[in-house]
Amino acid sequence: MLAIRELPFEAITIYSSKSFHGLEVLFRINNYDYQFLIGKANHLFPINVKHKFKEKAVCPFCQKKIYAAPLGQQLCLEFQKNLPALLQYFQEEYPDAF
């Protein structure tokens, strides 16, 4: 299980999605880029986390071989196990974005 609060998050961008009713969070950890999708109805709910790698690499969290985006926009299975904790982290650290 990932310790979300201990991860070295960088380059965080939070914005309203243009393709669905919700938010998108772009973030980087150790030079690996990810995209967190959050739905917004009566309350916020986590949808998924995708890899957004710039070149082919093995994800340090789920150990899958990921190709460069857009081909490599696969779900990160390790982050999928931690969606509620990830949402809570971003809501607490960046409350103005929510």
- 19-56 pLDDT per residue, tens: 999 999 999 999 999 999 999 988 999 999 999 999 99
Number of residues written out for the chain: 98
The structure's pTM equals: 0.93
- 58-69 pLDDT per residue, tens: 999 999 999 997
